[in-house]
Structure 1
Amino acid sequence: MSVIAMRGLRKDFTVRVGRGRLRREKRTVTAVDGIDLGIERGEMVGYIGPNGAGKSTTLKMLTGVLTPSAGEVSVCGLSPVPQRTRLALTIGVVFGQRSQLWWDLPLRDSFALLRHVYRVPAGAHAARLRRCRALLELDEFLDTPVRQLSLGQRMRGELTAALLHGPSVLFLDEPTIGLDVVSKQAVRSFLAELGGSGDVTMVLTTHDLADIERLCRRLVVIDHGRVVHDGTIEALHARYGSRRRLVVDLDAPLAPDFAVPGAELVALDAGGHRASFDLLSSVAGAVVAELTSLAAVRDLALVEPDIEDVVARLYRS
């Protein structure tokens, strides 16, 4: 059985729309429209889509905050809404714009309170906290009130708080939003190590696609409440024609009609001394060898396709 299973999952909201100065009528808006999805134990899944696609609504149904309008959903073998209390003991949730820490207490005291909230044995709690302190470098601000922490420090505290009770599934909604480069790197490294152990299933929603590229092998893209892609990032690139690009600096300028087998000339810059080629196959070596035999190459770089570009094209389509 999948750790997370959705079948025909749907969520409708009723909104009131103005009709004239005094009259308002009800209208049904579908936020999630029949999602079928299974996530296995230990997977790290990127769950992305444009604003209003239904990402947060899906997470709220998976965590028992919202009741589905139709379909079936289970997390760790539990039905999220009727078994919400039991579910809370098996999942961790990190929302980038919301806190589960006590604002006026030192971070250390928030962790101690959470041990009692989740009824975690002292030994297990201490071992998990010790690991998080080491990996997320918490010691320098453990005794600082949460309200005085920087955003990066608070996010590291939020991650620790979500893991102290040993959840099987971790839901992450924009965990790096607003963080500086150093804090982002610390959070990503921690999540990569956590996911590499295979003990925790992770579902990550974010607009920062660098998080997805560095953490997730599987990518699920939704739009208008429906799954439009479920597979690897490489499959997404292949589906939408993304290509690796070879950029070369030359001793002598190239002619605009220059051709090399296995590549397509897409740009000439610096008076023809810099050329960009889209590779027509995944093998770059043969193209480089042919190119160096035809032109005086000073330097070259292989640029991987930009996931942001391909996802933007997916949304537009």
Structure 2
Amino acid sequence: MGDEAFIEVDGVEKFFDVRRRAGLLRRERHRVRAVDTLSFTVPRGEMVGYIGPNGAGKSTTIKMLTGILTPSAGRIRVAGIEPARERSRLAHRIGVVFGQRTTLWWDLPLIDSYRLMCRMYRIEERRYAENLDRCVELLELGGLLETPVRQLSLGQRMRGDIAAALLHDPEVLYLDEPTIGLDVVSKVKVRGFLRDLNRDRGTTVLLTTHDLTDIEQLCRRVMVIDHGRIVYDGELKGLHAVGDGAAAERTLVVDLERELPPLEVESARVVKVEGARQWLAFPAGQSAAPLVARIAERYPLADLSVREPDIESVIARMYARDPSAVTSRP
């Protein structure tokens, strides 16, 4: 398989049979379609955002790409390997981080989990030491190695999980909500590490997240999945413009030094006021810098932040434009 199809998903479907109550003593079996005729390819070394609302099929896709789940129909190849048939062989070439679950041993110090993984993956000692030193330095884990995993904060554990997934030099890294629940500082550290990893080692990364800032700072390409189908595949700036023809809106949250009437600034409109805090909507394709400068020049500014449009609202606009539309890469 060539680099243009390092990850290849071709016509994949996944069904689950569930039983639902149909009376006092009777249950009926229903078939739920989690993934519906899914097709895409990811070249070697690309970092791709894979986003969508809850229940869209993101985690199911990741589990099929790792071999945890078997497709009901269609074909998957990762580095020339069929995940469900050769899961053990593929495990040595992939790394996985699930934000909601840890791969670390809960009661052991962090370093002991790493030593166990060294044995599980049969990593050569010198290679293990080099990779561990690099991860510890870049993810700032030095003071945490002797700490039991259960005593780590969420941000610390997440950085520990990312390091664990990279000890064996995987060619592809699957990240399922890697920044969920993290504070701002931890998010910045994780994003910087992933950016360096992709640039320096050419690691292929598939990132699922609800945080569009993750995507904006890490990925040039984004795929949107909804109801198990790809509804958009292209650049993030193109996603913002999908909808009724106008760009999506970002929100500037402004904290003033005192309560004031709604602010009046060009290219923005006040959508909410609560005391000294005001929310201003402005086009997603427009830089926030000039808007911030105008506000700072005219009003007593204390603090501000920019909020990206949430994924659910982006998808809602896509369907408002054309419920059957699927935008794909050329």
* TM-score under structure 1 length normalisation: 0.81
- Of the candidates 193, 203, 213, which is equivalent to residue 196 of structure 2? 193
Does residue 141 (structure 1) correspond to residue 154 (structure 2)? The answer is no
The amino acid across from 1:128 in the alignment is: N
CA distance in 2, matches of 1:221, 1:146: 34
| Aligned position for 2:255 | none
The amino acid across from 1:4 in the alignment is: I
CA distance in 2, matches of 1:278, 1:306: 11
CA distance in 2, matches of 1:21, 1:207: 39
Cα offsets for 1:67-94 (capped at 9, x unmatched): 1000000111100011000000000000
- Of the candidates 87, 104, 108, which is equivalent to residue 105 of structure 1? 108
CA distance in 2, matches of 1:161, 1:10: 31
Give the drift of 1:197.
Answer: 2.2
Give the drift of 1:183.
Answer: 1.4
Does residue 58 (structure 1) correspond to residue 29 (structure 2)? The answer is no
- Of the candidates 73, 77, 83, which is equivalent to residue 86 of structure 2? 83
| Aligned position for 1:10 | 13
Moved more, 27-36 or 11-20: 11-20
Contact 1:245 1:304 in 2 (8 A): no
- Of the candidates 15, 28, 31, which is equivalent to residue 25 of structure 1? 28
Cα offsets for 1:125-148 (capped at 9, x unmatched): 111111111101111111111121
The amino acid across from 1:308 in the alignment is: P
1:197 aligned counterpart, secondary structure: helix
CA distance in 2, matches of 1:283, 1:208: 19
The amino acid across from 1:129 in the alignment is: L
The amino acid across from 2:230 in the alignment is: V
| Aligned position for 2:47 | 44
- Say which one has the larger Rg: 1
Cα offsets for 1:103-135 (capped at 9, x unmatched): 222111211111110011111111111111110
The amino acid across from 2:130 in the alignment is: A
The amino acid across from 2:195 in the alignment is: A
| Aligned position for 2:240 | 237
| Aligned position for 2:123 | 120
The amino acid across from 1:242 in the alignment is: A
CA distance in 1, matches of 2:186, 2:162: 12
CA distance in 2, matches of 1:278, 1:153: 35
Contact 1:152 1:183 in 2 (8 A): yes
Give the drift of 1:281.
Answer: 9.0
2:309 aligned counterpart, secondary structure: helix
Contact 2:49 2:221 in 1 (8 A): yes
1:204 aligned counterpart, secondary structure: strand
The amino acid across from 1:93 in the alignment is: V
Distance 1:299 1:44, change over 3 A: farther
Consecutive unaligned residues of structure 1, counting only runs of 5 or more, are 248-255, 257-262, 271-275
Contact 1:49 1:222 in 2 (8 A): yes
Consecutive unaligned residues of structure 2, counting only runs of 5 or more, are 253-263, 274-279, 320-330
2:240 aligned counterpart, secondary structure: helix
* TM-score under structure 2 length normalisation: 0.78
1:119 aligned counterpart, secondary structure: coil
Q: How many residues in Structure 1 have an aligned counterpart in Structure 2?
A: 294
CA distance in 1, matches of 2:284, 2:67: 47
Distance 1:147 1:218, change over 3 A: same
Query: Please, what is the CA RMSD of the aligned residues?
Result: 3.4
CA distance in 2, matches of 1:209, 1:58: 19
Cα offsets for 1:14-43 (capped at 9, x unmatched): 111222212222111100000110001111
| Aligned position for 1:182 | 185
| Aligned position for 2:218 | 215
| Aligned position for 1:70 | 73
The amino acid across from 1:90 in the alignment is: R
CA distance in 2, matches of 1:17, 1:213: 40
Give the drift of 1:52.
Answer: 0.8
Contact 2:9 2:40 in 1 (8 A): yes
Counting aligned pairs with the same residue, the percent is 52
Q: How does 1:140-179 map to 2 (within 5 A)?
A: 140-179=143-182
The amino acid across from 1:221 in the alignment is: V
Contact 1:244 1:304 in 2 (8 A): no
